[in-house]
Homo-oligomer: A and B are copies of this chain.
Amino acid sequence: MKVTKLKSLLIQIFKKKGLNSSDALISANAIINAEMVGAYGHGLSRLKMYCDRINKNLINAKPKIKIKKISPSISFIDANNSIGFVAADIGIKKAIENAKNTGIGLVAVKNSGHYGLSGYYAEQAVKKNLITMIYTNAPPAIAPHGAIKSLFGTNPICFGTPTGSKVPFILDTSISMINRGKIRVAARNNQKIPEGVALDKFGKPTTDAKKALSGVQLPMAGFRGSGLAWMVDILSGVFTGANHAGKVKDPFDNFTGPQNVGHLFVTFKSNLFQKNYNKRIKENIRITKRLPKIKGVKEIMYPGQNKFRRFRENSKKKINIPKIIKKDLELLLK
């Protein structure tokens, strides 16, 4: 399917569910971006879930979002259970505005939902010559170090910076060994997952994607990864007023209430301390890329480079839509 065609279908679906044109466009763009960069776990595979939650009034199609200015640098957003894309769009735009005005921006968002890829919002800040750090929490998936029950989400850490080139440096990494979205896609397609990334609900290692989803994902680097996931839960949940400590609801399985996800957006003007920041980062990347490489490695890549390439390549192609998603689309358009 052509991108333009898919976009108009998505807008049509979201408007049918009650979103206004602007919010429908924001949501469609975020989903299409996830497909284009190959992050299928954050793309169309979630469309039906969003619509189900709107149907059950767990996502508010017509939210009254409150924006409170705490200082010229700091804003606080109560998203009133909007779809996460819309809350995050306002969040990053405020963080950009605040940093442009004062050099630094800090925006907390509560009462939001899953917003897709942190990197998508980071890119928007980077395009405005800002450095950014973005945190969001997620439903329980990872056991704290020493526990046999999951509590933290896969809680991504996201960092973005301009590079002096068209290709931004965007690190967007979950704290789990692999992304939950990937396990979810594997489960849908009846594929196995790698060893060492998850335990089943009895605490036994598993390569069965469905068993992994009902079990526990493993954090990277044991106590260290567990600590990083905890940090993200504190920054995006405890600090903002959103749910935390395992209370963020799984959007696929838990329809007892809104998710109340929290987000935190931090932005700095990249040239705050060094006027020639772009020249400096270009040199940093150039030196790193020139290092001797492991046999078989063609190029040392910086975070975000692969996604950018995939995006560019996929922009020229039609979007391939799996059968199961086609069915979702048909049903939702009825």
Question: Using a CB–CB distance below 8 Å, which chain A residues touch chain B?
Answer: 70-71, 73-74, 76, 102-104, 106, 108, 110, 131, 143-149, 151, 157, 159, 161, 169, 171, 173, 177, 203, 220-221, 223-225, 227-228, 230-231, 233-235, 237-241, 244-246, 266, 268, 270, 272-274, 277, 280-281, 283-284, 287-288, 291-294, 297, 299-303
Per the bound structure, the CA–CA distance linking A266 and B71 in Å amounts to 17
Question: Known contacts A291-B147, A294-B147; is A103 also within 8 Å of B70 by CB?
Answer: yes
Sample (27) of A-B pairs whose CB atoms are under 8 Å apart: A71-B102, A71-B104, A74-B103, A74-B104, A76-B273, A103-B106, A145-B300, A146-B294, A146-B301, A147-B292, A147-B293, A147-B294, A148-B294, A151-B287, A161-B234, A171-B227, A171-B230, A173-B224, A220-B220, A221-B221, A233-B284, A234-B284, A237-B284, A239-B272, A239-B277, A240-B273, A245-B283
Q: Give the distance to chain B from A307, nearest Cβ to Cβ, in Å.
A: 12
Residues A227 and B106 in contact, CB atoms below 8 Å apart: no
User: Quick one: closest B residue to A173, CB to CB?
Assistant: B224
Q: Give the distance to chain B from A181, nearest Cβ to Cβ, in Å.
A: 15
Question: Known contacts A221-B177, A221-B221, A292-B149; is A103 also within 8 Å of B73 by CB?
Answer: yes
Per the bound structure, the CA–CA distance linking A148 and B228 in Å amounts to 27
Per the bound structure, the CA–CA distance linking A283 and B247 in Å amounts to 12
Question: Known contacts A231-B159, A302-B230; is A288 also within 8 Å of B71 by CB?
Answer: no
Residues A293 and B148 in contact, CB atoms below 8 Å apart: yes
Q: Give the distance to chain B from A198, nearest Cβ to Cβ, in Å.
A: 15
Chain B residues near A177: list those with CB within 8 A.
221
* 8 closest cross-chain pairs (CB), A and B: A220-B221, A147-B291, A245-B287, A146-B297, A171-B227, A227-B303, A245-B284, A146-B300
